[in-house]
Chains A and B, each alone.
Chain A
Amino acid sequence: MIASGQTPLAVSLAATAASLLLLFVVFELIRSRRLRERYALLWVLTGLVLLVLSAWRGGLNVIAGWFGVSTYPPAVLFAVALLFVLAVLLHYSTVISKLADQNVILAQRVALLELEVSARSETGPESLPDAVAAPEAPAS
């Protein structure tokens, strides 16, 4: 077995500080209501995992050993960080897709309501077209 490398203390300290900063910023964004808890959970998880891996050098060295990254354990830290960033991005892609779908439904609803309102104001409430019905809800 090759003698495994150690995580330099400076790297560990810097990464710990960065993780703490990330967590602090996320919490502050939630507190000031600029980030909803729902969308913050993945960030909190990211921050916590990175914090543990940064601060606990022994653990990082062991995990690096499992993957055969024995020369430079912090590489595992970067890989994990990258994975989490990918997960967050993918999560946001699904969120944006849902928002786009809802936006279409809202626009259609508003247009139908406008039609109904203008029909009412032109001809009085008695002669409303029956066709103005609520649109179908999307399959979720």
Chain B
Amino acid sequence: MRRIAIIPAFNEQDAIGAVIDELIAFDPDVDVLVVDDGSHDETADRARQHGARVISLPFNLGIGGAVQTGFRYAAQCGYELAIRVDGDGQHDPAELGPLLDIVVSGQADVCVGSRFAGAEGYRSSATRRVGIRILARTVSLLTAQRLTDTTSGFQVLNRRAIVLFAADYPHDYPEVEAAVMAHKHRLQLAEAPVRMRERAAGRSSIRGARTVYYMAKVMLAIVIGSLRRKATPLEDA
């Protein structure tokens, strides 16, 4: 099965190398694609040195635009499976096993690695956890399915999901809206518990006043998104 790892990265020069190495250590046959989202540092060069294919965007598109670039590439090149991993080292590829099993066995089209589905807690600020909780509850309601971590970018997707998201993917911070979108298109969502690490380097892009913007924007998007009919006509791949 041809599979590709899509890593969006913005100024992750200190973390990106290890992320690629770990992915290849976990699965030597995976093609690694780093989407450099207009970084000002050495992210693209480091990624190339570690054996990844790099797409450099001419300016910062935000995580949604960067990830969609990866899905477009994957759809165009005929990949059957996509692995989404963040470029900051939070996601440990060694945890990918259960996610891959669920998608490869056909139990789901998209499987998300959840920090909260398992017993082990995820350390984070209280406000962040509350925000994540509110979003998870709302999405669970809209998708009629219990989801615990809708902001996680640690995901495995099959060809159907790749093709859908290549054609249409939310902007800015996409994961929450993408879950609602996938449900609208009758894609099956699943979660598997994962442990996540502290960020290896850099800072979260969502902090301070951005949190307010993020929550308002995402809530608006998912509520209105759930009122939409199918976003775009989807051909089965």
Contacts and interface: CB of A to CB of B under 8 A. Distances in A.
Contact of A37 (B39, B56, B60, B220): B220
Given A102-B59, A105-B59, A137-B58, A31 B227 contact: yes
Contact of B60 (A36, A134, A137): A137
A101 B59 CA distance: 10
B57 to A, nearest CB: 8
B171 interface: yes
Interface string B200-237: 00000000000001001100110010011001000000
B38 interface: yes
- Interface class of chain A by DSSP: helix
A44 interface: yes
A130 to B, nearest CB: 15
Contact of B220 (A41, A102, A138): A41
B13 to A, nearest CB: 14
Interface residues of A, number: 21
Contacts of A140: 38, 59-60
A78 B114 CA distance: 48
A135 B227 contact: no
B40 A30 contact: no
A110 to B, nearest CB: 9
Nearest to B222: A37
A72 interface: no
Interface residues of B, number: 18
- Interface class of chain B by DSSP: loop
A41 B171 contact: no
A138 B224 CA distance: 33
A140 to B, nearest CB: 6
B172 interface: yes
Contacts of B227: 31
Nearest to B56: A134
Contact of B39 (A30, A40, A137): A137
A30 B216 CA distance: 14
Contact of A137 (B59, B172, B213, B217): B59
A27 B224 contact: yes
B26 to A, nearest CB: 30
A101 to B, nearest CB: 8
13 contacts: A27-B224, A31-B227, A33-B228, A37-B220, A38-B171, A40-B220, A41-B213, A41-B220, A44-B220, A102-B59, A106-B58, A137-B60, A140-B60
Interface of B: 38-40, 56, 58-60, 171-172, 213, 216-217, 220-221, 224, 227-228, 231
